[in-house]
Chain A
């Protein structure tokens, strides 16, 4: 391709999932208040990750070529994948973690982390009685069924919630249509050719620091292939493979929609997941061939840390989709309410003529959360079009940044983009930032960007209260109204839960 995808200052990584422990070097002179908590949370991670004698199922802490070889060997991978990982590792060694986002991040000690740990049956709480009551209260508010609450809280799932059999049922039904939906590891074993053909074809190993790290040490993830002309009859969801989700903080997702096919994929769940891992660096690659359509929806509600900013997930995600054929369509929808730090830019490479990209996002930061999120729409083919709708909500001491790039390449005749990003501020101590990059190299393009920043008006709150709605309900109603254009892009059942989630996320931000 004739341009640099990495775009040095705007490499915009993306990715999200769990695994071993990460420590943080405490030698920084100006120690952010999150640092201590970060270290202690990481130490807790050690508690789960290691026993006094290092078991054979765990890699030595630290990241060397041997670690990569160890992981690959443990997973019984073919030679090509090992060398792919090693190449990524070499690239990663030459990179440094990017500094351009508007995020305050305690330095991360990548050599202190453990990069492979087999899922442990006895690592989590043994029953709901051992789970943090606050977490359970949230599940109740969200209306999560009892059985699922245990699963989400990390209680050994099989005993309570038979996700395996559920997944199996669907798998058979999908199999009849030729749809492959399995763990990444299984895909490597069973569908190696497909994986080899597409892995890294959208997010190359050296794309950015976190993508390179993921490429070297990714643990597992999901694989989807939809054959030509097939319309996937149901929403595919990671929900059905809760066990698999526990396999790693370096998750890898690869989704291929062959010609004329159609698939909707749901990622994450609406309840906060118990997770002792601090750093998540996942990679998601989507490939839509001619006339194919992919809709990828995410509700991210990782642990955001407490009100003082202690703990919480660092979420660095590289998500990118390629519209690789004419009239292909990729649509990202995300509701980001969790994580202490969110850093993700689900993007579209609009390569095919008449291909279409969309990004719909709601991001909430409350308490001390920080989010730097947005998208890249790269117009390469003719008559490509993209739509970006972003709604950022800042409350408490939260900092919310929209960062997006619209790039129209010289050959992208008649490209169209419309971007709207609105920010809502709740309270005096939060921040809302809008950083759009528009780069146009073709005169037939039409690119429009609009943004507004406002607060919730007292008049709106009073109007709702005068009609009898309690303050928190009024706030939730107004915020949901603010996000409506995005929420309507989510699959129906997801949207309902997302609405509740918005309300829960904003608790304590008024009054």
Chain B
């Protein structure tokens, strides 16, 4: 298929989408530029270094266009399937501010945003475009680059909704924000979510996102994050989409002086998924922690691609990603830590560890360092292996059956990164729960 054949349906869908003209002029222009960009590039191909390990055919074989209800200005009434009448259960054991999206649209009826402290804005992206267009513009400034990756361009062209959190300097939000996206569709349609988190200097917040659903939907999220001086943001993403789903997500974060960003990504669902996290440490003494795990089975293919750019001196990166591959699953880790000239006293560690649990499972890992400053401490490591037979035997010798013993070791392997992330009991609990659920589903097959 040529690029023009590939992109034509998307361009057509864009031209015929209703309601885009109701938006601010700059946003319309931006959407227009984005679809042009996508039209010029098409989908990534395996000849591009950062895409060579990912088989995108499930996504590109036939065009997956935006869901009819997930285009700008579509109303809730237009939903093909009515959303569930009851809100999904909370991930956390404590009260949260909740935003529920269904098929790419904010559903106020299911959501619950409590009283927010002064200086905090939390709302759907569509609402924010109307009420606080300046916030959206700021998020676009921070995240949009000409030549950005094709999925981000497609997202910019089509996004309808998402969430926006903005904290003014000094604002502290103790109550976690919970964002749940439910994808429910019988047909292959796309949900382009556009999110933004703007943490003013000295502010603090926690966001826990999760996605789940059923059917062959394609969730394509772009999240723009700025963490200003000495601000601190915790961000957890649990991707638990249905087994037919496709999930692509790009998170871009820019950290100012002394800022702290902690990201934990747990990947469980979707037949094909890719998570790009791009962090720019642009202010002195900023620090980022990127931790996570991908637990894959069946024919799943997942790529985790974190890129950290040390632009300023005295910054720190701690990165631990663990993969567990079962059945025919294929896990890919593409990590890069770049240290620019002058970014002295950089302290960066990157570790990717993988467990292969079946003769057909496959892992590619490429932890990359790109160092252009001399006063740095950088290390990376990668391991691939299977369960320790000696440990397995030890547990069995103490009377555990093989399945239980295996589960125990796999859980220990994956839970280790949850401990490393040191998120506290409340935030760790859902991660552990998902891990245990996953183990319960895979059974004890070798």
Contact = CB atoms under 8 A, between A and B. Distances in A.
Direct contact, A vs B (beta carbon within 8 Å): yes
A100 B49 contact: yes
B374 interface: yes
A444 B446 CA distance: 11
A448 B381 contact: yes
Interface string A427-439: 1111111111111
Contact of A9 (B52, B367, B375, B382): B52
A443 B361 contact: yes
Contacts of A174: none
B278 to A, nearest CB: 18
A453 B363 contact: no
B378 interface: yes
Interface in B336-385: 341-342, 354, 356-385
A443 B386 contact: yes
Contacts of A423: 369, 371
A425 interface: yes
A436 B368 contact: yes
Interface in A427-467: 427-455
A8 B385 CA distance: 27
A429 B371 CA distance: 10
B379 A450 contact: yes
Contact of B370 (A425, A431, A450, A454): A431
B376 A451 contact: no
B75 to A, nearest CB: 47
Given A425-B374, A448-B383, A454-B377, A440 B369 contact: no
A458 B103 CA distance: 58
Nearest to A415: B384
A5 B89 CA distance: 51
A179 interface: no
A429 B340 CA distance: 10
Interface string A307-346: 0000000000000000000000000000000000000000
Contacts of A430: 372, 374
B366 A437 contact: yes
A431 B375 CA distance: 12
A447 B384 CA distance: 5
14 contacts: A9-B47, A100-B49, A410-B360, A423-B371, A425-B376, A432-B371, A434-B367, A434-B368, A434-B369, A440-B363, A447-B383, A447-B385, A449-B381, A454-B377
Contact of B374 (A428, A447, A452): A428
Nearest to A438: B365
B371 A431 contact: yes
A437 B371 contact: no
Interface residues of B, number: 37
Nearest to A432: B371
A426 interface: yes
B334 to A, nearest CB: 10
Interface in B367-418: 367-386
Contact of B367 (A429, A445, A446, A449): A449
Q: Give the one of B360, B382, B384, B386 with max A CB within 10 A.
A: B384
Most chain A beta-carbon contacts within 10 A, residue among B362, B366, B369, B374: B374
Contacts of A429: 341
A450 B381 contact: yes
Given A8-B47, A429-B341, A452 B368 contact: no
B363 to A, nearest CB: 5
Contacts of B377: 453-454
Given A443-B359, A444-B386, A450-B379, A427 B364 contact: no
A443 B341 contact: no
Given A410-B359, A443-B356, A443-B359, A436 B376 contact: no
Contacts of A452: 378-379
A417 B111 CA distance: 51
Given A433-B370, A438-B363, A454-B376, A447 B382 contact: yes
Contacts of B385: 445-447
A100 B357 CA distance: 33
B24 to A, nearest CB: 39
Given A425-B373, A440-B363, 11 more contacts: A428-B342, A431-B371, A431-B372, A432-B369, A434-B380, A436-B366, A436-B367, A438-B364, A446-B383, A451-B369, A454-B378
Contacts, number: 113
Given A425-B371, A442-B359, A446-B385, A451 B380 contact: yes
B363 A9 contact: no
A253 to B, nearest CB: 31
Contact of A439 (B361, B364, B371, B374): B364
Nearest to A455: B374
Given A100-B49, A428-B373, A440-B354, A435 B366 contact: yes
Given A9-B49, A447-B385, A433 B371 contact: yes
Given A428-B374, A432-B371, A438 B379 contact: no
Given A445-B384, A445-B385, A455 B375 contact: yes
B194 to A, nearest CB: 32
A435 B381 contact: no
A441 B360 CA distance: 7
A431 B357 CA distance: 38
Contacts of B375: 455
Contacts of B52: 9
B312 to A, nearest CB: 15
A435 B356 contact: no
Contacts of A435: 366, 368
Contacts of B364: 437-440
A408 B358 CA distance: 14
A453 B371 contact: yes
A445 B52 CA distance: 23
Contact of B369 (A446, A453, A455): A453
A506 to B, nearest CB: 14
A442 B376 contact: no
Contacts of B359: 410, 442-443
A100 B47 CA distance: 10
Nearest to B334: A437
A410 B361 CA distance: 9
Contacts of B362: 439-441
Given A100-B49, A445-B385, A453-B376, A428 B341 contact: yes
A440 B384 contact: yes
Contacts of A408: 384
Nearest to A395: B374
A427 B377 CA distance: 14
Contacts of B342: 428
Interface in B46-65: 47, 49, 52
A443 B387 CA distance: 9
A318 B160 CA distance: 52
A374 to B, nearest CB: 12
Contacts of B372: 430-431
Contact of A438 (B47, B366, B370, B386): B366
Given A433-B371, A453-B378, A438 B49 contact: no
A455 B47 CA distance: 35
Nearest to A434: B369
Interface string B268-303: 000000000000000000000000000000000000
A446 B382 CA distance: 11
